[in-house]
Amino acid sequence: MNLLSPPQIAEVLQAAAGAGFVSARCTEWAEGVKGRKSKQVWLKIARESLIPTLQRLVAIHYPHISVIACADVGAQVELMYHFHVYWGIPHEEVLVTLTVALDKADLKVPTITGIIPGALTSEREKQEMLGIEVVDIPDGRRLFLPEDFPAGVYPWRKDETGIPPDMIKDLWATGRENLKFEDNPPPPAPNPANPVNPV
């Protein structure tokens, strides 16, 4: 197999993303005595470019999907699709991350299970944890959250749809409901003669 270098992969995927391309960067990280490097390609693309870019990636090497990671960044929710290509070739694997930002007003993303069926677990998890809608997902049920989990609460969101304070159970309060947090004894005062944690 003719292997493409990480910058070449970025270039090919940029062409496939077309007008939806936002940015690309390549990173390396070496560990061990010999200094062999692991390689990463990070691409930011628009939602519309996700499927064509992924199809181009499949043409390079059938990717293994690790997971779809996510971050709530205020007005948007970012999805990071982590793929690996060139697995099975010692020390040559490249991590390709496709980042897609979705506006909170329109949290829809096409499913990629038509290309990689193994992405289903991750897509179902993103729907329940982030409140996004994966269009055409073959199985849209909840995965980890119970069926009676309140609707409209998305644990990984950092806005008003996140976990409300009344859903958080403080372990320290269990069995001592009449005790307030302020009633706890104060932490021990630092004793210069006997430092607990010398720094």
User: Rule CB under 8 A: which residues touch other proteins?
Assistant: 27, 29-38, 40, 42, 62, 64-67, 69-73, 80, 82, 84, 86-93, 95, 97, 113-122, 138-139, 141-146, 148, 155-156, 163, 199
Decide whether 42 or 56 has the Cβ nearer to other proteins.
Answer: 42
Q: Identity (one letter) of the amino acid at 5?
A: S
Decide whether 15 or 158 has the Cβ nearer to other proteins.
Answer: 158
In the complex, minimum distance from the CB of residue 90 to other proteins, in angstroms, rounded to a whole number: 5
Q: What DSSP character marks residue 162?
A: S
In the complex, minimum distance from the CB of residue 11 to other proteins, in angstroms, rounded to a whole number: 22
Decide whether 47 or 84 has the Cβ nearer to other proteins.
Answer: 84
In the complex, minimum distance from the CB of residue 21 to other proteins, in angstroms, rounded to a whole number: 19
Q: How far apart (Å, rounded) are the C-alpha atoms in residues 86 and 107? A: 32
CA dihedral sign, ordered 12, 62, 101, 51 = positive
Q: What's the residue count for the chain?
A: 199
**Residue 136 Ramachandran class (φ > 0 left, ψ -120 to 50 alpha, else beta):** left
In the complex, minimum distance from the CB of residue 8 to other proteins, in angstroms, rounded to a whole number: 19
Decide whether 31 or 160 has the Cβ nearer to other proteins.
Answer: 31
In the complex, minimum distance from the CB of residue 2 to other proteins, in angstroms, rounded to a whole number: 18
Q: What DSSP character marks residue 113?
A: T
Q: Which residues contact 162 (CB under 8 A, 6 or more apart)?
A: 72, 153, 154, 155, 156
Decide whether 12 or 145 has the Cβ nearer to other proteins.
Answer: 145
State the maximum Cα–Cα separation within the chain, in Å, rounded to a whole number: 69
Decide whether 26 or 67 has the Cβ nearer to other proteins.
Answer: 67
- 6 is written with which tokens? 């990480």
Q: How far apart (Å, rounded) are the C-alpha atoms in residues 87 and 75? A: 36
In the complex, minimum distance from the CB of residue 178 to other proteins, in angstroms, rounded to a whole number: 25
